[in-house]
Amino acid sequence: MNGINDKINELKAISQNPGQSVAQAIKDTGKKAVGCFPIYTPDEVVYALGLLPVGMWGGPSKGNKSSKYLQTFCCSIMKANTEQALGGDYDMLSAVIVTSFCDTLKCIIEDWKIAVPHLNIVPIVYPQNRKSNSGKTYFKAELKRVADELAEITDTSYTDESLAAAVDLYDEYRRTLQDFVKSVAEKPGLITPLERHHVVKAGYFIDKKDYVPKVKALTEDIRAAEVPSDRQGLNPIVISGIIGEPDGLLEVFDECGFTVVGDDLAQESRQFRTIAPNVGDGFDRMVERIAMQDGCAFLYDEEKRRGRMIVDLAKETGAVGVIFNQLKFCDPEEFDWPLVKKEFNAAELPYLYIETEQQMDSLEQVRTSIQTFGELL
């Protein structure tokens, strides 16, 4: 157990101090860092250019600088990112890739071009018709445009080989995390929901090459360990939504006797549950991977598979219920909920819907909801 704790604490420290971790990674690798927005970014391209992709999923910032650009009903992750950009927290980045998966993000790109031009904003628009020929052709061209723009800004270059190697590394990273979350489900209660979250999140702030072996070692230790008797009998659940934050939220999970055995979070499993098929060059593999990535609120899915996928995940992992953590003001997720709920009802899968923001002064109402969910199970 000590080995596990050490490994977790190391990753947790990386995850909890993004600024420091990224500065250290820049120093260790000698690479320039490029910020990567939610929900999906072509990290493989960044990596192939010899740059360090860094995740930008909000943070604890709650100031009021962002209100120069955004009304109050803007999602808290985008407000926090804007706050941090205006506060200079991202000045260590050589460029920032901003996506346009929702209407809010489209505006964020435009606002940032004006508010923080020194961050070298590189917009990317993923196709919604991602399975059709026209969509795939477009996406490949868009990926190349982004690669060229980044290359020029950072004075770097890529080759077919460096891109193929980056896609390989990312697939390994994805397989590693798939295996990690599987091992957590095999030993429910062994590590806490918050620890699970930080292990996954740490991957956003260091070089994937250094991150992968750490997670592999931890996964091995988890498989070899026994769940202590005082950690047995917790309610295994699946969590869905954008993000498992603030930290206090997952602490409440633990305090109320829940353990996370699976997730459908945009920041976690949606990043790594789909592996690139082995067709064509590096760009083709990235294009095909997104074409296969279903059940995500941000990618048009004519079959609306999400609800069914969560139900299946719950069955596979032995979860007794689902907690749907709705990030307030996130339209795409809000649109999915009524249909996802129908699937839960049809499958008689117990669920709890909570609405949170990334920064919350009080978690008391949420705690009451989660505790009650435990009481009714």
Partner 1 sequence: MPERAYMGIDIGSSSSKAVIIDRDAAIRGEHIINLGTGSRGPADAIAKAFEQAGITKVDRTVATGYGRILFKEADKQITEISCHARGVKQLVPTAETVVDIGGQDAKVIRVKPDGRVENFVMNDKCAAGTGRFLEVMSRVLGVGIDQLSELADKGKPGVNISSTCTVFAESEVISQLSSGSSIEDVALGAHRSIAERIVGLAGRVGIEDDVVMTGGVALNDSVVQAVEDVSGHKITRLKDPQGMGAFGAALYARDLDN
Partner 2 sequence: MSEQKTSKELLNELLETHYDNAMKVQSEGKLLAWCTSISPQELLETMDIYAVYPENHAAAIGARKQAPDFINYSESNGYSSDLCSYARVNLAYMDILQSEAGNIPRPDLIFCCSNICNTVLKWYENISKELNIPLIVFDTPFNHQYEVNDQCTQYIKGQLLEAIGKLEQITGRKFDHDRFREVMKISSETSKWWKKASLEAAAKPSPLNGFELFNYMAAIVCARGTVAGRDLYKLWYEELRDKAAKGLGPWKDEDEKYRVMWDGIACWPYLGLTYKTLKKYGINMVTSTYPDSWYIVYDVDDLDGMARCYSSNYVNRNLSFGADNIVDIVNKFSLDGIVFHSNRSCKLMDFRQFEIQRQVEARTGVPSIIFDGDQTDPRAFNPSQFENRIQALVEMMESRR
Q: Point out which residues bind partner 2 (CB under 8 A).
A: 68-71, 73-74, 100-104, 106-111, 113-115, 123, 125, 127-129, 132-135, 137-138, 141-142, 145, 297, 300-304, 326, 328-329, 331-332, 334-339, 341, 353
- For partner 2, the closer of residues 26 and 299 by Cβ is 299
Burial class (CB in 10 A: 0-12, 13-18, 19+), 362: exposed
Which among partner 1, partner 2, none contacts residue 5 (Cβ within 5 to 8 A by kind)?
none
164, 165, 355, 363: residue in contact with partner 1 (rule CB under 8 A): 355
Report CA torsion sign: 298, 304, 310, 312.
negative
Question: Residue 34 pairs with which residues in a beta bridge?
Answer: 53, 95
Nearest to 264 by CA among 295, 303, 298: 295
Which among partner 1, partner 2, none contacts residue 62 (Cβ within 5 to 8 A by kind)?
none
Does 365 interact with partner 1 (rule: CB under 8 A)? yes
Which secondary structure element, helix H or strand E, spans residue 14, and what is its range? helix 2-16
Spell out, one character per residue from 294 to 333, where the chain touches partner 1: x when CB under 8 A holds, - when not.
----------------------------------x-----
Does 84 interact with partner 1 (rule: CB under 8 A)? no
- For partner 2, the closer of residues 230 and 302 by Cβ is 302
Question: Residue 355 pairs with which residues in a beta bridge?
Answer: 326
Which among partner 2, partner 1, none contacts residue 42 (Cβ within 5 to 8 A by kind)?
none
- For partner 1, the closer of residues 358 and 369 by Cβ is 369
Which residue type, as a one-letter code, is found at position 266? A
CA 235/CA 319 separation, integer angstroms? 8
Residue 352 sits at φ, ψ, to 5 deg, of: -130, 130
The minimum distance between CB 270 and partner 2, in angstroms, equals 16
Joined tokens for residue 204: 């956003």
In Å, what is the CA distance from 343 to each residue of 170, 301, 330, 376?
32, 16, 21, 20
Does 353 interact with partner 1 (rule: CB under 8 A)? yes
The minimum distance between CB 322 and partner 1, in angstroms, equals 13
The minimum distance between CB 325 and partner 1, in angstroms, equals 14
Which among partner 2, partner 1, none contacts residue 69 (Cβ within 5 to 8 A by kind)?
partner 2
Which among partner 1, partner 2, none contacts residue 364 (Cβ within 5 to 8 A by kind)?
partner 1
Give Cα 236 distance to the centre of its chain. 21
Contact in structure between 238 and 264 (CB atoms under 8 Å)? yes
- For partner 2, the closer of residues 9 and 128 by Cβ is 128
What beta strand segments (E) does 227-280 contain? 235-241, 258-265
Contact in structure between 85 and 65 (CB atoms under 8 Å)? no
Does 376 interact with partner 1 (rule: CB under 8 A)? yes
Nearest to 342 by CA among 353, 330, 332: 353
- For partner 2, the closer of residues 151 and 353 by Cβ is 353
Joined tokens for residue 199: 């292990």
Joined tokens for residue 98: 């901003």
- For partner 1, the closer of residues 303 and 375 by Cβ is 375
Q: What is the DSSP letter of 96?
A: E
- For partner 2, the closer of residues 184 and 297 by Cβ is 297
Does 364 interact with partner 1 (rule: CB under 8 A)? yes
Nearest to 287 by CA among 73, 39, 35, 42: 42
- For partner 1, the closer of residues 283 and 337 by Cβ is 337
Q: Which residues bind partner 1 (CB under 8 A)?
A: 328, 353, 355, 364-365, 367-369, 371-372, 375-376
